[in-house]
Structure 1
């Protein structure tokens, strides 16, 4: 891989992993707009690792508190807001974990067409716009109930449909349940941690079966660049939506969906 390909793929993964714009739609455009060869599974794992390190680093204080409180709740020493939030992250991850194991291969084979991507971008973009416009509230992620977490988790299953955007659909569900924009985004980012671990773990398992040589310098560069871009994306996105909201991303999704229809229709 040349350095331009490493940089572009790393930035695309790092930024679109957390924005509500669908990373799958962007990653399919990269080979269309270039003549680069496939980057390979090992590089995909490195990019996911960078995104994971970024979100863990950004929420490190919250994660330490949540883990400690969750441990106390498991041993019967009381349950506080941090423990409940940890439980809700676990609960909301179960549906997509089960659905991913059952249907991921089928979806990836049957529904990876650009037109499906375009449909997911447009339809779920409109739903996000409506949720941001009419249903957002003032609740924080710490005021979620178990039922709320389950609904968000069920919504997250829809992210298996290409073009939906995992972050986009979870933020949409959270907004409809009355969370503030920032709280919806923060809970979505926390949910990304187990999802990236599960997805990256499956990719790493597949990688152990391969016998191709590994370009360690490319992997290291991809991890670092993906991690830096993802960290900055989280930081600026939270500040951005607090002031402006989701509508610019909705417009972007609609334009990208139309562009995919124009290119592949």
Structure 2
């Protein structure tokens, strides 16, 4: 891989993983609009490790409290707000994990096209804009009901459709049940941890089976670039939506979708 390709893919993954704009769409489009060949499974694993490391480092205090509280909920049946949030993250991962195992091959075979990306970007972008404009409330991630958790969890399964955006659809669902922008984003980021970890483990399994040659220097740089850019993205995104909201991302999604339709139809 060229070093420019390593930098571009690392930045694309790190920035788009946590923005409501679909990282899968952008990673699919990079080889469409450049002469670069597919980066390979090993590099995909490195990019996921970088993103996962960033979100764990950013929320490490919250995760430590959640882990401690979750353990007490299991051993002493004491469920406080942190334990409930930990259970919400774990239970919220089940639908997307199950759907991924059942339908991932069919989705990758039939839905990974620029037209599907374009339609998903536009449709789910409009839905995000509507949810942010009409339905957002003031509740934080600690004030969700179990019904809210189930709604967001099943919405997250739609992220398997390329172009939907996992962060985008979970934030949309959270806004629709009356959560604040920051609460919706924070819960979406916490939900990403088991999802990215599961996706990374599946990629590692595929890598072991394929026995692909590993260029360790390239993987390390890809991991670092993805991780640093993802960490910065999480921080500045939370500041941005607090002040401005989701509408700029909605406009970007619709514009990108229209460009793709114009190019590929």
TM above 0.5, yes or no, is yes
Partner of 2:114: 114
Q: How many residues align?
A: 265
* Cα distance in structure 2, aligned partners of 1:211 and 1:168: 34
The answer (yes or no) to whether the contact 2:148–2:177 under 8 Å persists in 1 is yes
* Cα distance in structure 2, aligned partners of 1:212 and 1:168: 33
* Cα distance in structure 2, aligned partners of 1:144 and 1:90: 14
Aligned residue runs from structure 1 range 1-265, under 5 A:
1-265=1-265
* Cα distance in structure 1, aligned partners of 2:117 and 2:69: 40
* Cα distance in structure 1, aligned partners of 2:173 and 2:232: 24
Over 2 Å off, 4+ runs: none
Deviation at 1:181, TM superposition (A): 0.1
Q: Any gaps of 5 or more consecutive residues in structure 2?
A: none
Q: Secondary structure at the match of 1:178?
A: coil
229-238 or 30-39, which deviates more: 30-39
Q: Deviations over 1:14-59 (max 9, x none)?
A: 0000000011221122112211121110000000000000000000
Q: Secondary structure at the match of 2:93?
A: helix
* Cα distance in structure 1, aligned partners of 2:248 and 2:213: 42
208-217 or 177-186, which deviates more: 208-217
22-31 or 85-94, which deviates more: 22-31
Deviation at 1:212, TM superposition (A): 2.7
Q: Deviations over 1:204-237 (max 9, x none)?
A: 0000012232100000000000000000000000
* Cα distance in structure 1, aligned partners of 2:212 and 2:156: 34
* Cα distance in structure 2, aligned partners of 1:76 and 1:110: 48
Q: Any gaps of 5 or more consecutive residues in structure 1?
A: none
* Cα distance in structure 1, aligned partners of 2:91 and 2:36: 40
Deviation at 1:77, TM superposition (A): 4.5
Q: Secondary structure at the match of 2:183?
A: helix
Deviation at 1:162, TM superposition (A): 0.8
